[in-house]
Every structure is written in C-alpha cells, then in structure tokens.
Structure 1
Amino acid sequence: MSSKLRSGKLLLGLYALLVVGLPLAGLGYALLGSVGVVGPLAAGFTGRYWLALGADTGLLKSALFSLWVAGASLGLSVAAALGLVLGAQATLRRRPFPTLLYVPLLMPSLVMGFYLFQLLSRAGWLSRLSFQLGLTHSLDAFPELVQDAAGGGIILAQVLLAFPFLTLLFQAIYQESRLDDYRQLTQTLGASAAQFRWRVAVPVLLRRAAPALLLSGIATLGAYDLPLLLGRPYPQMLSVYIATRLQRFDLRELPAAYLAGFLVAVGLLGLILVLIRLTRRHAF
C-alpha cells in the first residue's frame, strides 16, 4: 500500500510540475524578460517596454480581433448545434448522420485550414469553377472568403471543427437529461414547442455544457495554425502576433514579445478563473 501511495504522489508531483510548475516558470521568465533582466540583450532592469506598450496599438487590435473570432466562432457553432439537436432529433438518431459528425473530429485543424484554402481562395476550386461557368471574369472578381479582413475564413474553419463536437455533446446531454420527457410534460401543461426550447431545453443544455464551451472558446483564442494559414498579416490573432515578434531577426523585439506573451497569458488565466466561477455559480 505504501509503495502505491508513493507512486501516486510521484505521479501527482510530476503532473503538477508539467501543468503548474513549467507554465509558471515560463511566465516568470517572460516577466523578467519584459523588464530587461533576462534575455539575449539583458542590460538591467528597465520599464521602457511597459511604457512603450501604451503607444503600440498592435497588441490591443490583436486582442480585439481574437475576441471577435472566438466569439463569432463559438456563437455560430453553438447556434448550429442547438438548432440541430432541438429541431432534428429524428435525423440525429438515423444512421449514417451520427457517424458523419465524427469525421471532422478526426481531421487536424491544419488539414481543415489547408482544405478550406484550396476550396475558397481566389485561386481555389470554387474560384476556378465560377470562372469556367462565366460567373466571374478574373481572380479579383471572386470574393475574399479566406485571408479576409473580418477573419471569415478562420471563423468558418473553427465552426466546422467545433460544430460536430458541440452537436454530439448537446445530444448526449439531451438524452441524459431526458429532455424528451420534459417536452411531453410541457406540452401536456399547455406550453408550446418554442417555449419548451427556449425556457427549458436551451438553459439546460448551455448550463450543462458550460465547461466544454469555455474550453472551446479559450482554445479558439489561442489557435495558431488556422489563423496563420487563413488569416491576413494584419490584423493578426494573438498567438500569431506573439510568435511573429518572437521570430523576428531583430533581437531588440524580444522584450516586447515577452511582455505581450506575459500579458496575454495572465489575461487568459484571469478570464478562465472568472468564467469557471460563473459556470459553477449557475450550474445545476
């Protein structure tokens, strides 16, 4: 028993080191690098990089753009999944449709991004097809569906990846919560189908799925490969913005990149803590 206990403590310690110790060490290094204490050009403590942050609007614009992409992607995915679960129960239970929902989940995000780029770009399949059909007369006449200023290509890719997962999740919650029985009960009491959906089913599904929705939104905020492939050089999502500054040949950019990474990581951790507290407060 004692050996099992020691093994369990060892595994727990290693897990804590991986998920807490190393990230905290990285945050500490980024903080020290942002004040000139560590790094290739460390010359002593300085606060000029923090002062210069107020004049640099790139980080703020990247944050706003990332929030827009994450919010739009999650909102569209949730709306599509709820519409399918609440409006097409017969279809969801009829094969092969449930099996088809697993196909996008097996596809890496980079593969999804490459597929959409080949399909929707101005040199892609749809553009060539529209040219052959006479719908467009040049490449520039085809609308920008990827690498657009609004991030539509990134949002579409995120929706295609998240929508099947959320549909399966909502369907599992629907069946586990026996919402069909509640639907019949509300109809017996005189409620309409719309009242059941909006006052009973939607609150139950959203509250039960709140942790998964939180993780999905955070994952979209920190996405890198899809924004890199389907996004523009400006505006950039946060992960691409930070990675670009870290990979520049000018080493003088590193402290500002450390500062951006530190602020983004702290901001995301704070957002996660706030949302977790809210989900716990309103959970069943």
Structure 2
Amino acid sequence: MKRYILLFLASVLFAIISIAQNKSNFHMELLAQTKYLWRGIEYGTSPVIFPTLSYSNNGIYIYGMGGYATDGSHQEVDLGISYNFKDISLSINDYYYPTPVGENDKYFNLKGKETGHWFESCIQYSPSKIPVWSLLSTYFAGADKKTESKSQAWSSYAEIGGHYDFDNNNVLSLGILNAGGNYYDAIISIINTLPFPYFAKILLVITMIMFYATSFDTLTLIAPNYSYKHIESNEEPHKIIRTLWALIFILLPIGLLFSNNSMYGLQSISIIAASPIGIII
C-alpha cells in the first residue's frame, strides 16, 4: 500500500511543477495535522500528512487525496467527484482504507465482502444568503457491511452547522453531527484531538468535581426551604431536612452512572419536567 501513497505524492509534486507557471483549474494542497479526526472518529495515533490534487470547472469538482500517518498507523486513498448546482452539491466518494499490515491489500479488489473501499453518496445544501449548511451522506456499496448477515449496512451521517465571516477572510464555524455512537465517545474523541489529552482529561475531571460540588451545595441550601409550608426569613431548615436533600442529590448522579442510557434518560426527564413551563410561556 505504501507504494500507492508514494506514487500519489510523486503525482502531486509533478502537478505542482507542471502548473506552477500557469493559471489552471488544477489545484494542489499539502496539509499536515497533529491528529486526524473526521466525523467524530479518530484515525491514526500520530501526525498525518494529506497531499491533495483537485480539478474544478463549471461546477464540477474532482479530487484525489492521500493520507499517511508518520508512524504508519493510518493510511488511506480517497477519490471523489461532485457537482454544484446553485446552493446544492451532489457528490460520490470512494474512501480506501488498507489493513494495518498492508501486504495483502489489493486496491482494485472491489468484491463486496473483501474490498477495502467505502463508496459514499452525499448531498449538501449551503444557502448563499444564510450562513448555514446541512449535509447527509450514506455508504451505498463497499466494505460497509452488517456484522452477521454481511449485507449492506447503509450507514449514514448527518451534519448541520453555521458560520460567521469576520474581516480578513477569517471564518468561525460550528457544526452538529450525528454518526451513531453516544455523547460520551464523541466528547472523549474531541478531547483526544487536543494537545496533551491526558492532562485535558484530568482538568475535565477536576472541573466537573468543582461544578457538582458547588451546584449541589447551593441546592442543599435552597431546596430544603421548599420543604416547609412556612419558614421565617431568618430561620434555617433543620439539619435532618438538609441531610435528606443532600442524600437525594448524591443518589441522583450515582443512579445515572449505573444507567445504560443516562444522558438520554436525563434528557427525557428534563423535557417532561419543563413541559408545564413551556405551556405557561
């Protein structure tokens, strides 16, 4: 597989030399990332280099991209074509991921149960007058198979986001994605892309402890007051009542820890509890 990566790099260098002196519809890019995170999934365990060669003309965009981690933990070759019509873009992509060993990889093996290619169709809507975008993609052929039946899994990905354009061509973007999995995996994947992720996780734990400690301390001071039908402004709730509320707030996160769908359950409870307020509003 490495020879394909080297061949692609040589092609990019040749293209650079060929079009350096002339204005052309061909474009090249050489990108290096400390970590490769794509659609919420981390690829490779070291910096990754991405040489890209593309061609664009009259709404048609064709590209070829290689990816190679410096320690050999990740390799890929991507090909794709898209057509832009006003605010809509339709594209077909081929993502090829060889096995970690690589000796038995055959790039031109397109058999459904043996190939390393992932064929994807994609549609994106980006209105020119509104700074938002939406994207939907589905793997329609290739290695995206169900574990047991080995039939096409039709794995899909959806994304919606917005951007704000500053002066000097600076852009701030925010996107929301859904590619399966759960929120916890997504959070850890994002943290793993930061420099010194282990220290970031320690800082996250310390911050969460401080947040819960201060929040529950405040709740145990306020909630007991609502346990009395009448209480004077200068009177404090009994210590037993405060202790009872403290135990309730301790048991709540413990219960969420042992729940398989704690985040989704908490969302449902929050929505149900907020319904009367929504009616009032």
User: TM class by shorter-chain length?
Assistant: under 0.3
Q: Which has the higher strand share?
A: 2
* Structure possessing the higher relative contact order (Cα contacts under 8 Å, 6 or more residues apart): 1
Q: Normalization by structure 1: what TM-score?
A: 0.21
Q: Which has the higher helix share?
A: 1
- Mark the structure with the bigger radius of gyration: 2
Q: Normalization by structure 2: what TM-score?
A: 0.22
